[in-house]
Amino acid sequence: MEFIQNNLELVYFVIFCIFIGIEVIANVPAILHTPLMSGANAISGVIMLGAVIMLFQIPPTNYLLLCLGGIAVFLGALNISGGFFVTGRMLKMFNTKK
């Protein structure tokens, strides 16, 4: 509770960003979802690379941080692969049938 009281402006900023993000995503036309998802996958890949580099900076005796970092990298990889899978399926919808 003390953290929230000391950082009330940051909490308001995060809540505001969540609402803005929801409105932006909800109002994107269907034709733009594929390019936006591809861009988000590229950004996630760069973030994932940074996470792996930071994971190598953790001392080998700090098991808690190593486990949390490993879980974060795994979930990031899952997010990226899921994004590419969905993008591939969306692009197949626009292919002409033979």
pLDDT in tens, 37-56: 777 777 888 888 888 998 89
Q: Answer yes or no: is pLDDT of 34 > 70.
A: no
Q: How far is CA 91 from CA 70, 78, 83, in A?
A: 32, 20, 12
The residues spanned by each domain of the chain are 2-92
Spatial separation of the C-alpha atoms in residues 38 and 23, rounded to whole Å? 20
Which helix (H) or strand (E) element contains residue 60?
none
User: What does the alpha-carbon distance between residue 38 and residue 86 come to, in Å, rounded to a whole number?
Assistant: 10
**Which pTM value belongs to this model?**
0.58
